[in-house]
Amino acid sequence: MKFLERTTGYGVKFFLRTTNGGYGNGKYGIFMQSIYIHIPFCVKKCNYCAFASYPAASAAQEKYISVLAKEMALRRNFPAQTLYIGGGTPSFLGAELLEKLLTETEKNFGPIKNFIESTFEVNPESVTEEKLKILKKYGFNRISVGAQTFDDDGLKILGRAHDRKTFFDAYDKIKSAGFTNINIDLIAGFPRQTFEGFEKDIREIISLSPVHISVYGLQIEEGTKIFETGFNPDQILMRKMLEHARAALQAASYKHYEISNYAKPGFESRHNNNYWQSGEYIGLGFAAASFVNGKRFSNPENLEKYLENPGKPEFEEVLTGKEKLGENIIIGLRRLDGIAAADEIEKNFGREIKNLIAAGMLEKAGGKIKLTEEGIFLSNEVFENFVAPFYET
Ligand SMILES: C[S@@+](CC[C@H](N)C(=O)[O-])C[C@H]1O[C@@H](n2cnc3c(N)ncnc32)[C@H](O)[C@@H]1O
Ligand code: SF4
**Tens-digit pLDDT string for the chain (393 aa):** 333 433 322 233 333 333 322 222 233 345 689 999 999 999 999 999 999 888 989 999 999 999 999 999 999 999 999 999 999 999 999 999 999 999 999 999 999 999 999 999 999 999 999 999 999 999 999 999 999 999 999 999 999 999 999 999 999 999 999 999 999 999 999 999 999 999 999 999 999 999 999 999 999 999 999 999 999 999 999 999 999 999 999 999 999 999 999 999 999 999 999 999 889 999 999 999 999 998 999 999 999 999 999 999 998 999 889 999 999 999 999 999 999 999 999 999 999 999 999 999 999 999 999 999 999 999 999 999 999 766 655
**75 and 179 together in one domain:** yes
Kindly state if the Cβ of 287 falls inside 6 Å of ligand 1: no
- Same structural domain, 23 and 109: yes
Based on the domain organization, do 18 and 105 belong to the same domain?
yes
116 assigned to some structural domain: yes
Determine which residue's CA is closest to atom 1 belonging to ligand 2: 42
* 250 plus 193 within the same structural domain: yes
Distance 364 CA to ligand 2 centre (A): 38
CA of 151 to the centre of ligand 2 (A): 17
Measured from the Cβ of residue 7, the count of other Cβ atoms closer than 10 Å reads 18
- Please indicate, yes or no, whether residues 238 and 114 belong to a single structural domain of this protein: yes
**Ligand 2: distance of its center to the CA of 44 in Å?**
7
Residue finishing a domain among 242, 276, 310: 276
Domain shared by 241 and 324, yes or no: no
- On whether both 15 and 116 belong to a single domain, the answer is yes
The pLDDT of residue 393: 54
Specify the pLDDT at position 287. Answer: 94
Does the C-beta of 185 come closer than 6 Å to ligand 1? Answer: yes
Residue 256, classed as helix, strand or coil, is strand
Assess whether 80 and 159 both reside in one domain.
Answer: yes
Q: Is residue 223 part of a domain?
A: yes
Amino acid code (one letter) for 357: I
Q: Is residue 198 part of a domain?
A: yes
Which pLDDT does position 392 carry in this prediction? 56
pLDDT for the residue 315:
87
How many C-alpha atoms does 184 have within 13 Å on its Cβ side?
Answer: 26
67 Cβ closer than 6 Å to some ligand 1 atom: no
Residue 389 confidence (pLDDT): 66
- Indicate if 161 and 41 belong to the same structural domain: yes
**Does ligand 1 have an atom closer than 6 angstroms to the CB of 233?**
no
pLDDT score at 52 = 87
Mutate to test the pocket of ligand 2, among 39, 47, 89, 166 (most ligand atoms within 8 A of CB): 89
Instruction: Put residue 307 in one of left, alpha, beta given phi > 0 → left and psi -120 to 50 → alpha.
Output: alpha
What interhelical angle do 129-138 and 164-176 show, nearest 10?
40
CA distance 203 to 213: 13
SS3 301: coil
Ligand 1 mean position, distance from CA 321 (Å): 33
Task: Give the domain CATH number at 77.
Answer: 3.80.30.20
Contact at 8 Å (CB) between 121 and 20?
Answer: yes
The domain boundary, picked from 250, 276, 302, lies at 276
The CATH number linked to 324 is 1.10.10
Write down the pLDDT at residue 31.
Answer: 63
pTM: 0.93
Residue 250 in domain: yes
- Residue 271 resides in a domain: yes
Residue 313 in domain = no
Q: Is residue 301 part of a domain?
A: no
182 strand-pairing partners: 143
Co-location of 356 and 242 in the same domain: no
**pLDDT score of 368:** 97
Q: 202: domain range?
A: 2-276
349 and 253 within one domain: no
65 and 199 inside one domain: yes
Question: Do residues 17 and 289 make contact, with C-beta atoms less than 8 angstroms apart?
Answer: yes
User: Ligand 1 in contact with 272 (CB < 6 A)?
Assistant: no
Please indicate, yes or no, if residue 228 is contained in any of the structural domains: yes
Give the total number of structural domains in the chain. Answer: 2
Which residues on adjacent β-strands are paired with residue 214?
185, 261
Helices (H), the chain: 2-5, 12-18, 58-74, 95-109, 129-138, 152-158, 164-176, 195-208, 225-229, 235-251, 270-276, 303-308, 321-333, 343-358, 373-377, 379-383
Closest ligand 2 atom, CA of 44? 5
Q: Which of 242, 258, 276 is the last residue of a domain?
A: 276
